[in-house]
Amino acid sequence: MKKICLVGSPNSGKSTLFNAMTNGNQKVGNFPGVTVNCFSAIVNDASESFELFDLPGIYSLCPYSMEEQITSELLQTQDYDLILQVIDGNHIERGLYLSYQLMIHNQPLLIAINMMDELNQKQLTVDLEGLSNVLGVTCVGISALKKEGISDLSYHLKHALNEQKVTYTKAQLSKNQEDSLLSLDAEESDLEEAIMLIYQRVEMVLKVTLSRNNNATTPSTHIAVDKILTSQWLGLPLFAFMMYFVFWLTFHIGSFFSNIIDALFNLSIMPVTSELLQLIGTQTWLISVIVEGVIAGVGGVLTFLPNILILFLSLAILEDTGYMARVAFMMDRLMSRIGLNGKAIVPLLMGFGCNAPAIMSTRMLENSEDRLIAILINPFMSCGARLPIYVLFSSIFFSQYGTLVTFSLYFLGMLMAILSALCFNGFRSKNKETPFILELPPYRRPGLMVVLNKVLQHALSYLKRAGTVILCASVLLWYLLNYGPAGQAELASSFGRIIGEWISPIFAPLGFGTWQASLSLLTGIVAKEIVISNMAIIFSNANEATLSASSLSALFTPSSAYAFMVFCLLYVPCIAVIGMIRSETNSWKWPLFSILHTFIVAWTSSFFAYRLAEFIAIFV
Amino acid sequence: MTLNELPPQEKAIIRSFSCQPPLKRRLMEMGILIGMTIETVGVSPLGDPIEYKTELMHFSLRAIDASYIEIDKLL
């Protein structure tokens, strides 16, 4: 099957076009031959089918950040049949600059000029035919967001795929100049000449193909919006308010749906399944596995799907409107205090959703040491999977102060991230600082499909975990709780209790040295949401249909409940995150370091939290 | 005069870059070139970085990086 690479600068609408062309039927996959994760999709048409790869955005072929490195290395393999370049019509100069670089690879090229509708509004006209002739590359005008010109693009795509030789007119660069564009440590003079030559050429090309309707001033609404959103006095409060709003949505609206799902499981699915199985004469132990193991465990996780969906939806919207870039702009000063730059705020915020994709998104950071620090502090950003633990415990032990308690945990996580970053900074090599250039794209209405797709991908991976890892863990836990050295056993003499009691002394100084808490924490390393689904299983075994206040109160005091939450917040990242750290740092050293580091931080913080809470409790 | 000294809402022309190759290259590749008109849009709430705009794009630079860009102020 023919392979097409979708290339373009960041914010050029590449992903929107990708969605429009593939109708959202995409998967995260590897580009053949190179282990690079990117979205790909097979596009089937009556006459032709091809595979489309959405590569990370680049400004040029020079690899600054890891993301750009991926794209430029991939393009160098030449193991594809066509490059489809997306150009943001508003930044056509920069797009064409990249086009001339792409021509260096001598591979078939097709250009889609996006956001033609915005160009029309600005009264700019591009002579597409003229441009195609000058470049020797077919240029198609589209609006990916409004799905205009997509069929025209597919037509030309098919045509271009069947063309044998490339016909374009390159910028006349010498071999040295061409090479200098592709390498990081190029001869300075060659490089500058090359860049200037290309831009001069682009200017010449645009002189004859781009016409501006006279005295049509460009309405820059985004400056007006920026004046407010990044203003001296309102900028940061608005950001704080927006984050508060996101969490409010996640907690309040999310728990409304969570309660429905919870009720559905506990009041209908569990009893009904149990009765149905009895009707068909299933053995008691099997009913127990299915109802108390599988359904209780998976149900416990599914309950929190709405919270996680809302959080990811909000973050995706903030990112796709262009607001995240402003957040990076506003937070740069603060982030530089901990040795990072403003861009590092994005992975940290994403960590509130899920640390695994957040760690992957550190690829956009140019400096490798920045990136390592951003990876190592990320697990302290409290992910969505830890939220259920806080929601449950704080609602039981701190009733009306629940939200406040939960907030304190999020802040503690951030504090630990900051302290760790400061600590790690001491070990940095004293090399040159990486310059911080951040493009501030115009504010845009996010594409519905693009946003929904992002959310869908996260939801699917969450569900996949519920269906695989968590399902297995639930069954295993059910076994540990229902069987002991002497075969089938009561909870009191089960394997689970033995293991839990064996490790519980570690947690005794923290106030929750019970075997139930210890076992939950141990299995929580598989995935943090399991801490709660385990509690559900442990207590449904004790003949409690739901995790009620009374059953938890028997195990925890408010102080030890708080210490438990602190521990859950900070301790060892889940398997998915450990695996992600392993693959992103390409060594076992850093995941192991992270496990040790987080455990020490968690134990110490939890210890002090417990002592402090006990001390306060004397006076309350 | 250097770029970090350009007050908000004022325009200048980029005369030269005196910065290290990585920053210079990045600026040039993003389309920030010698001879271009550049305008200071505003300053981040915490005083750094600074937002600039050229005909081609909006972007932000830290004051320290902007101080390597020589400009001629337009009156």
Q: Which residue among B21, B30, B45 places its CB closest to the CB of A235? A: B45
Query: For position A32, what pLDDT does the model report?
Result: 53
Query: Which residues of A fall within a CB distance of 8 Å from B54?
Result: none
Interface residue A57 vs chain B (CB under 8 A): no
Token duo for residue A88: 């943001």
Q: What percent of chain A has pLDDT over 90?
A: 20
Query: Which residues of B fall within a CB distance of 8 Å from A188?
Result: 21
Interface residue A188 vs chain B (CB under 8 A): yes
Q: Could B48 and A333 be called an inter-chain contact, meaning their C-beta atoms sit closer than 8 Å? A: yes
- Shortest distance, CA B19 to any CA of chain A (angstroms): 10
Query: For position A548, what pLDDT does the model report?
Result: 61
Q: What is the 3-state secondary structure (H, E, C) of A456-495?
A: HHHHHHHHHHHHCHHHHHHHHHHHHHHEECCEECCHHHCH
CB B15 within 8 A of CB B72: yes
Q: Is A109 helix (H, G, I), strand (E, B) or coil?
A: strand
Pick among B29, B38, B62 to test the A interface (most A CBs inside 10 A): B29
Q: Report the greatest alpha carbon distance in chain B.
A: 31
What distance in Å separates the CA atoms of residue A351 and residue A250, rounded to the nearest whole number?
14
Which residues does chain A have with pLDDT short of 70?
Answer: 24-37, 46, 164, 213-222, 430-433, 539-550
* One-letter amino acid for residue A592 of the chain: L
Pick among B24, B26, B32 to test the A interface (most A CBs inside 10 A): B26
Locate the DSSP E strands across A353-399.
none
Query: For position A449, what pLDDT does the model report?
Result: 80
What distance in Å separates the CA atoms of residue A150 and residue A140, rounded to the nearest whole number?
9
Pick among B19, B25, B69 to test the A interface (most A CBs inside 10 A): B25
Tell me if the pTM is above 0.90.
no
What average pLDDT does the segment B65-70 reach?
Answer: 92
Query: For position A377, what pLDDT does the model report?
Result: 96
Q: Could B29 and A62 be called an inter-chain contact, meaning their C-beta atoms sit closer than 8 Å? A: yes
What distance in Å separates the CA atoms of residue A38 and residue A361, rounded to the nearest whole number?
12
Q: Could B47 and A333 be called an inter-chain contact, meaning their C-beta atoms sit closer than 8 Å? A: yes
Query: For position A543, what pLDDT does the model report?
Result: 44
Write down the residue that tokens 């160098």 correspond to: A76
Cβ neighbourhood burial of A187 (10 Å; 0-12, 13-18, 19+): middle
Query: For position A540, what pLDDT does the model report?
Result: 62
> Could you give the angle at the alpha carbon of B59 between the alpha carbons of B58 and B64, nearest 5°?
145
- Shortest distance, CA B40 to any CA of chain A (angstroms): 12
Closest to A322 in 3D by CA, of A235, A446, A239: A446
**Mean pLDDT score across all residues of chain B:** 89
Chain B residue closest to A89 (CA)? B56
Closest to B2 in 3D by CA, of B74, B71, B73, B75: B71
Q: CB pairs below 8 Å between A and B: how many?
A: 108
A547: left (phi over 0), alpha (psi -120 to 50) or beta: beta
ipTM of the complex in this document: 0.93
Our measurement of the distance from residue A540's CA atom to the centroid of its chain's CA atoms, rounded to an integer in Å, reads 34
Q: Which residue among A94, A226, A442 places its CB closest to the CB of B56? A: A94
What distance in Å separates the CA atoms of residue A313 and residue A303, rounded to the nearest whole number?
17
Locate the DSSP E strands across A81-174.
82-88, 109-114, 124-126, 139-141
What distance in Å separates the CA atoms of residue A344 and residue A340, rounded to the nearest whole number?
6
Q: Report the greatest alpha carbon distance in chain A.
A: 90
Interface residue B7 vs chain A (CB under 8 A): no
